[in-house]
Amino acid sequence: MAFEIRKIGIVGSGQMGSGIAQVSALAGFDVIMNDLSEDRIHGAIAKIDGNLNRLVERDALSAADKATAIARIKPAPTFNDLADADLVIEAATENEEVKRAILAEVCLPLKAETIIATNTSSISITRLASTTNRASRFIGIHFMNPVPRMQLVELIRGIATEDETFTAARAYIEKLHKTVTVSEDFPAFIVNRILLPMINEAIYTLYEGVGTVDAIDTAMRLGANHPMGPLQLADFIGLDTCLSIMQVLHEGLADSKYRPCPLLVKYVEAGWLGRKAQRGFYDYRSGAPIPTR
């Protein structure tokens, strides 16, 4: 009989973790959330509650379904509290050392059959799996940001991932009514292998003075019919995340075309990380985004 996922554990209650919790609860899964502090977890649940309230106001969700979904999400302050999860998804910051430390520890109290997944957007699944005690039950489940709105999920098998693990993970994604695309375990997978070099090239275009922030974003919105310009998108993703992915591509593929733009490095060193820091390629502190170059 195929392994069935019913209860989801999530490590990390930030933008990605809370988004995964929201869509999982709406799809009927029980969700338990872990983070460094209970305050962070309760803050994430409050944010999800607010998101669901907005869906109710727009008649996209009934009040009864909203109440049922939010009741499915519970705090899990320690890794031991994740012990009865069928699937645990690591959704921490895009930093390999942080992820490896979490994965080495979180697997210890779990049931033998529990699947562990990482939401990494670029790091080797095989390498991360090696830090756990169950490489055969480890898989990459890469949700796009923002999770509730984006339709695609990349599934990435490590070298040791068993068929049963892949099948169960795919069934979980399909119950969320999202579309699966399967990627091989190469740096940045499919979406970010294509998207991030484009963003990096847009930053080089700014760095070399070819165009201003506004000119570059307007050109790509209207000239390529993109919903947002590449610099605006970089701010939304987080410039630190963009830099991390470019570094993974540069180191993993050893090709100079993936060299992170020095201007991207400078912005990250300044702490101008985009929307979450109120400054990046745009300054958000006044409420209306103002280009910084």
pLDDT beyond 80 at 2: no
Q: Taking the CB of residue 176, how many other CB atoms lie within 10 A of it?
A: 20
- Interval 241-276: pLDDT, tens: 999 999 999 999 999 999 999 999 999 999 999 999
Annotated active-site residue 18? The verdict is no
pLDDT beyond 70 at 184: yes
Compute the mean pLDDT over every residue in the chain, rounded to the nearest whole number. 96
Q: Which residue among 24, 34, 183, 192 is the active-site one?
A: 192
pLDDT beyond 70 at 1: no
Domains annotated on the chain, with CATH? 7-183 (3.40.50.720), 193-291 (1.10.1040.10)
> pTM of the predicted model, to two decimals?
0.91
pLDDT beyond 80 at 222: yes
Mean pLDDT of 87-95: 95
Spatial CA neighbour of 215 closest among 225, 201, 230 = 230
Q: Which residue among 119, 122, 154, 183 is the active-site one?
A: 154
- Interval 103-162: pLDDT, tens: 999 999 999 999 999 999 999 999 999 999 999 999 999 999 899 999 999 999 999 999
Percent of the chain scoring above 70 in pLDDT: 100
Annotated active-site residue 121? The verdict is yes
Q: What's the 3-state SS for 161-201?
A: CCHHHHHHHHHHHHHCCCEEEEECCCCCCCHHHHHHHHHHH
- Interval 16-47: pLDDT, tens: 999 999 999 999 999 999 999 999 999 999 99
pLDDT value of residue 3: 87
Q: Which residue among 142, 183, 200, 244 is the active-site one?
A: 142
Annotated active-site residue 4? The verdict is no
Cα gap 149→270, rounded to integer Å? 31
Q: Which residue among 34, 121, 122, 124 is the active-site one?
A: 121
Spatial CA neighbour of 276 closest among 236, 231, 217, 234 = 236
CA separation (Å) from 13 to 20, 35, 89, 131?
A: 9, 6, 11, 22
Cα gap 63→68, rounded to integer Å? 9
